[in-house]
């Protein structure tokens, strides 16, 4: 008889840049000044867009909008590690990731304005449509990555989900399939501490979300999600590993939702405002700005120019959105099937007769 | 021509398509080494390889959900769900995603996926191994739903389903898996989705059925020498309302026979369509002969649930004598 420890696991945490913008050079990923600027500009653009979209909703110019304020670092850091041919499986809060992945801003407004054309994606980039049901996209990403592997292609799939989604079986079975088939799939959980009003502690008794991958046979890592460099580094390493045929990874981006859950929510009902103040001090954009100032990559005039450019782009997008003609209502029939079946043809005729 | 059962016909279709199209993969529980619990995929892994005939972990939701992702990325997965009673944990993926991704992406992405699953009672199986729920899928907009009842149709419809650019649920009538053997072509052919089969021509009434019951309905009609037009619907969505209405307009009477529970069963859709479009040609109310709104009982009682010859003839006579 014997009783002994047969397995031991460790979960790494990664932070490259602290809240004052100081980086640990031994951890700093290789990254050009151009890339740093791209990150900064994309984060500022995303934040500007997010604030504007919130106001548009309040003015009744778009419908429900889901803010991502505070999560720009984790999304844009992750996206910097992908190529266009790679696959992104976004969720409703992935606006910053979609902006980083070349989605025209007015399309995001169209989407929130109640127009399916907002989900159109150019053929030059593989952005899957936004998932509204929590967690379901994990399986699509795992399957897409399995297909890449079976076809011998070097593309990877990256999927975003929240901490709430980690309680769902599609998250767990998605990781299980990805693990078994060594699928090049990167699972990025943005742990923003809440699923609407439910705190992270109510989702799982586990100490971290990162450790959940261990049960499926691959590595998980917790990363400071408000540190764009740490996210870039962790995702880049996971992507390279996946491209080389070594299978999936889970990355828990430890972050905070610096906004309500959605424009229909009021977070003051369930969150302590002090918490928000603490997290404001960790803002991903401020932190990058401090770093860039120290490095001589940012001065007041560059900062003002980036802000001005972002504002102009967002204003142009609002204009483009508001002048977009209404969609053709017949489109509701058009895209159901490649070829319209008999029953739908009959209903389309009825629609035309009575519209 | 070669003599084949429905299981063999399914196997032939999969073999042919795996050979013809590199993007086709077969996936599911026990489909590889074991060749499927009904042997529908027997020998396929040996011939086409482990990466084309894939033994997956045990999760219906994940089989269907990953198959959706694979289909989006250019493959044509044929997923097997071992018994149709277990498909429901994957229903979310079918209803919310497979069926909607073409529409959601305005045509940029599509899901050419087939979900094969044995359905129906009558083989003395365990609980939830004998369900038939075609109406769920017909009601999940964006899915196609078919049920062959002969070896010829099984092969031809499966080939059509795999080549279809949209997701197709393919029910296999378990009770008939090995009950019929017929000559079917060894070569490639398809049976179009959305077209019914006239199993027997007749004048006095129209009897519409599908799945295993289309055989037993035809048997009942023939045993009792009724001059009925017997229609095997084959496709539940889209369905061949033209064939049904043409026949009903000719005979003036209709009976619908299905195994699934009556309330909101697909028979209701057919009856409503007949009422809307052929009311004036009807000489009698449309009658449904169906399973009850009960759980399918265990083996000792299950044949009390499935419409029997007696119940089918009761419906037929009601309509004929009205
Ligand atoms: C399957 C499902 N259940 C419930 C909802 C309603 N809902 C939308 S978002 C949400 C919370 C999700 O939280 P989390 O996964 O942590 O992501 P976050 O919104 O915080 O980014 C809920 C319950 C839904 N969209 N989908």
Rounded Cα–Cα distance for residues A96 and A67 (Å): 9
* Judgement on whether residues B69 and B173 belong to the same structural domain of the protein: yes
Give pLDDT tens digits for A70-107.
999 999 999 999 999 999 999 999 999 999 999 999 99
Q: State the smallest CA–CA distance between residue A336 and chain B in angstroms.
A: 5
Give pLDDT tens digits for A306-347.
999 999 999 999 999 999 999 999 999 999 999 999 999 999
Answer with the one of B184, B211, B241 that is the final residue of a domain.
B184
Supply the range of the domain harboring residue B20: 2-184
Contact B18/B44 with Cβ under 8 angstroms?
yes
Rounded Cα–Cα distance for residues B64 and A71 (Å): 31
Q: Which two tokens stand for residue A296?
A: 């001589």
Region A179-186 average pLDDT? 98
Residue B101: name the closest of B89, B90, B113 by CA: B113
Give pLDDT tens digits for B199-249.
999 999 999 999 999 999 999 999 999 999 999 999 999 999 999 999 999
Q: Is B188 on the interface with A (CB under 8 A)?
A: no
Triad B34, B37, B39: Cα angle to 5°: 70
Rounded Cα–Cα distance for residues A205 and A212 (Å): 11
Shortest-distance atom of ligand 1 to CA A66:
19
- Please give the distance, rounded to the nearest whole angstrom, from the Cα atom of residue A110 to the centre of ligand 1: 22
Rounded Cα–Cα distance for residues B57 and B268 (Å): 38
Rounded Cα–Cα distance for residues A79 and B74 (Å): 23
The reply to whether B189 falls in a domain is no
The reply to whether A70 falls in a domain is yes
- For residue B205, the domain's CATH number is 3.40.50.920
- Please give the distance, rounded to the nearest whole angstrom, from the Cα atom of residue B127 to the centre of ligand 1: 34
Residue A267 vs residues A75, A262, B130, B202: alpha-carbon distances, Å: 22, 9, 48, 68
Rounded Cα–Cα distance for residues B188 and B290 (Å): 35
| B97 included as an active-site residue | no
Residue A223: name the closest of A273, A272, A277, A187 by CA: A187
Give pLDDT tens digits for A30-61.
999 999 999 999 999 999 999 999 999 999 99
Q: Which two tokens stand for residue A241?
A: 């590993």
Give the chain A residue whose CA is nearest to the CA of B23: A151
Q: Is B141 on the interface with A (CB under 8 A)?
A: yes
User: For position B243, what pLDDT does the model report?
Assistant: 98
Residue B273: name the closest of A333, A348, A347, A341 by CA: A347
The reply to whether A5 falls in a domain is no
How many structural domains are present in chain A? 1
A225 ligand 1 Cβ < 6 A: no
The reply to whether A176 falls in a domain is yes
Rounded Cα–Cα distance for residues B114 and B165 (Å): 10
Chain A interface, mutation test: which of B69, B91, B111, B164, most A Cβ atoms within 10 Å? B69
B118 beta partners: B172
Which residue has its alpha carbon closest to ligand 1 atom 8? A134
The reply to whether B303 falls in a domain is yes
Q: State the smallest CA–CA distance between residue A76 and chain B in angstroms.
A: 23
Q: Write the residue in A119, A169, A177 that is nearest to B66 by C-beta.
A: A177
Shortest-distance atom of ligand 1 to CA B92:
1
* Judgement on whether residues B95 and B226 belong to the same structural domain of the protein: no
* Judgement on whether residues B251 and B272 belong to the same structural domain of the protein: yes
The reply to whether A84 falls in a domain is yes
The reply to whether B25 falls in a domain is yes
Contact B239/B261 with Cβ under 8 angstroms?
no
* Judgement on whether residues B204 and B122 belong to the same structural domain of the protein: no
Greatest CA span in chain B, whole angstroms? 59
A141 contacts in chain B (CB < 8 Å): 69
Residues A125-157: b if buried by 16+ CB within 10 A, e if exposed: bbbbbbbebbbbbbbbbbbbbbbbbbeeeebbb
The reply to whether A17 falls in a domain is yes
Residue A231 vs residues A30, A74, A251, B155: alpha-carbon distances, Å: 13, 6, 9, 51
Q: Identify the sign of the CA torsion A289, A294, A298, A300.
A: positive
**Given phi > 0 = left and psi -120 to 50 = alpha, else beta, which region is A3?**
beta
The reply to whether B225 falls in a domain is yes
Size of interface A-B (CB pairs under 8 A): 141
B107 contacts in chain A (CB < 8 Å): 334-335
To 10 degrees, the CA torsion angle through B130, B135, B141, B147?
60
Neighbours of A311 (CB within 10 A): 15
Supply the range of the domain harboring residue A65: 12-324
* Judgement on whether residues B116 and B177 belong to the same structural domain of the protein: yes
The reply to whether A335 falls in a domain is no
Residue A82: name the closest of A136, A42, A25 by CA: A42
The reply to whether B190 falls in a domain is no
Looking at chain B from residue 53 to 82, which residues have their Cβ under 8 Å from any Cβ of chain A? 56-57, 59, 61-62, 64-75
Active-site choice (A257, A287, A291, A321): A257
User: For position A249, what pLDDT does the model report?
Assistant: 98
Residue ranges of chain B with per-residue pLDDT less than 50:
none
Give CA A168 to chain center in angstroms: 18
The reply to whether B297 falls in a domain is yes
Give pLDDT tens digits for A231-264.
999 999 999 999 999 999 999 999 999 999 999 9
The reply to whether A341 falls in a domain is no
Report DSSP letters for A225-246, one per residue. TT-HHHHHHHHHHHHHHHHTT-
Shortest-distance atom of ligand 1 to CA A190:
21
How many structural domains are present in chain B? 2
The reply to whether B80 falls in a domain is yes
- For residue A100, the domain's CATH number is 3.40.50.970
Q: State the smallest CA–CA distance between residue A307 and chain B in angstroms.
A: 32
Answer with the one of B184, B205, B234 that is the final residue of a domain.
B184
User: For position B12, what pLDDT does the model report?
Assistant: 98
Q: Does B65 sit within 8 Å of A140, measured CB to CB?
A: yes
* Judgement on whether residues B231 and B173 belong to the same structural domain of the protein: no
* Judgement on whether residues B16 and B160 belong to the same structural domain of the protein: yes
User: For position B189, what pLDDT does the model report?
Assistant: 98
Q: Is B235 on the interface with A (CB under 8 A)?
A: no
Answer with the one of B121, B156, B184 that is the final residue of a domain.
B184
Shortest-distance atom of ligand 1 to CA A195:
13
Q: Which two tokens stand for residue B14?
A: 């999969």
A180 contacts in chain B (CB < 8 Å): 56-57
Phi, psi of B48 (to 5 degrees): -110, -5
Neighbours of B69 (CB within 10 A): 34
Residue B194: name the closest of B259, B144, B142 by CA: B144
Q: Write the residue in B57, B65, B141 that is nearest to A170 by C-beta.
A: B65
Give the chain B residue whose CA is nearest to the CA of A140: B69
* Judgement on whether residues B57 and B180 belong to the same structural domain of the protein: yes
pTM (predicted TM-score): 0.97
Instruction: Name the average pLDDT for chain B.
Output: 97
The reply to whether A348 falls in a domain is no
The reply to whether B54 falls in a domain is yes
To 10 degrees, the CA torsion angle through A137, A143, A144, A150?
170
User: For position A23, what pLDDT does the model report?
Assistant: 98
Rounded Cα–Cα distance for residues B184 and B151 (Å): 7
A93 ligand 1 Cβ < 6 A: yes
Report DSSP letters for A90-142, one per residue. -BTT-HHHHHHTT--HHHHHHHHTT-GGGG---TTSEEPPPB-STTTHHHHHH
């Amino acid at each position: 008889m014997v009783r002994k420890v047969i397995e031991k696991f460790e979960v790494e945490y990664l932070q490259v840049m602290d809240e004052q913008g100081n980086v640990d050079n031994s951890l700093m990923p290789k990254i050009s000044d151009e890339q740093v600027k791209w990150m900064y500009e994309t984060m500022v653009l995303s934040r500007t867009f997010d604030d504007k979209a919130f106001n548009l909703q309040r003015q009744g110019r778009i419908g429900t909008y889901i803010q991502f304020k505070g999560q720009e670092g984790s999304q844009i850091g992750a996206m910097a590690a992908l190529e266009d041919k790679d696959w992104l499986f976004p969720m409703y809060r992935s606006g910053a990731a979609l902006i980083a992945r070349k989605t025209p801003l007015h399309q995001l407004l169209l989407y929130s304005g109640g127009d399916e054309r907002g989900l159109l994606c150019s053929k030059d980039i593989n952005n899957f449509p936004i998932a509204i049901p929590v967690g379901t996209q994990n399986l699509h990403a795992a399957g897409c990555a399995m297909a890449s592997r079976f076809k011998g292609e070097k593309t990877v799939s990256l999927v975003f989900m929240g901490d709430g989604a980690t309680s769902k079986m599609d998250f767990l079975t998605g990781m299980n399939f990805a693990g078994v088939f060594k699928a090049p799939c990167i699972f990025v959980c943005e742990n923003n501490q809440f699923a609407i009003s439910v705190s992270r502690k109510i989702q799982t008794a586990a100490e971290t979300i990162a450790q959940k991958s261990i049960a499926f046979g691959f590595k998980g890592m917790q990363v400071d999600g408000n540190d764009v460099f740490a996210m870039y580094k962790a995702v880049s390493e996971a992507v390279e590993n996946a491209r080389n045929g070594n299978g999936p990874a889970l990355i828990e981006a430890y972050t905070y939702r610096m906004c309500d859950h959605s424009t229909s929510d009021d977070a003051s009902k369930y969150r302590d405002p002090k918490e928000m103040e603490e997290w404001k001090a960790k803002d991903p954009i401020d932190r990058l700005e401090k770093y860039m100032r120290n490095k001589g990559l940012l001065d007041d005039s560059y900062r003002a120019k980036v802000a001005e450019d972002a504002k102009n782009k967002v204003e142009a997008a609002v204009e483009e959105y508001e002048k977009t003609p209404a969609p053709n209502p017949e489109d509701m029939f058009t895209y159901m099937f490649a070829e319209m079946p008999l029953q739908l043809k009959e209903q389309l005729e009825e629609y035309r007769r009575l519209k | 021509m070669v003599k084949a059962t429905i299981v063999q016909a399914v196997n032939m279709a999969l073999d042919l398509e795996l050979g013809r199209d590199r993007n086709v993969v077969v996936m599911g529980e026990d489909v590889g080494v074991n060749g499927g619990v009904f042997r529908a995929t027997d020998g396929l892994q040996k011939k086409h390889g482990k990466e084309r005939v894939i033994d997956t972990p045990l999760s219906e939701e994940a089989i269907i959900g990953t198959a959706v992702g694979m289909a989006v990325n250019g493959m044509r997965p044929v997923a097997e769900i071992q018994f149709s009673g277990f498909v429901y944990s994957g229903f979310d993926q079918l209803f919310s995603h497979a069926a909607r991704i073409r529409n959601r992406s305005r045509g940029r992405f599509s899901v050419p996926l087939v979900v094969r699953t044995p359905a129906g009672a009558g083989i003395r199986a365990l609980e939830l191994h004998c369900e038939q729920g075609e109406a769920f899928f017909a009601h999940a907009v964006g899915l196609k739903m078919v049920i062959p009842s002969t070896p010829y149709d099984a092969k031809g419809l499966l080939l059509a389903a795999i080549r279809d650019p949209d997701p197709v649920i393919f029910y296999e009538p378990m009770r008939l898996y090995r009950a019929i053997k017929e000559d079917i072509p060894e070569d490639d052919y398809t049976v179009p989705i959305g077209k019914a089969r006239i199993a027997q021509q007749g004048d006095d009434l129209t009897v519409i059925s599908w799945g295993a019951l289309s055989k037993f309905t035809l048997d009942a009609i023939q045993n009792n020498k009724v001059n009925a037009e017997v229609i095997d619907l084959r496709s539940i969505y889209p369905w061949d309302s033209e064939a049904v209405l043409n026949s009903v307009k000719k005979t003036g009477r209709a009976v619908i026979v299905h195994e699934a529970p009556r309330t909101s069963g697909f028979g209701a859709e057919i009856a409503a369509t007949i009422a809307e479009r052929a009311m004036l040609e009807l000489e009698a109310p449309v009658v449904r002969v169906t399973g009850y709104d009960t759980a399918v009982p265990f083996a000792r009682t299950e044949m009390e649930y499935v419409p029997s010859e007696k119940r089918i003839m009761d419906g037929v006579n009601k309509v004929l004598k009205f």
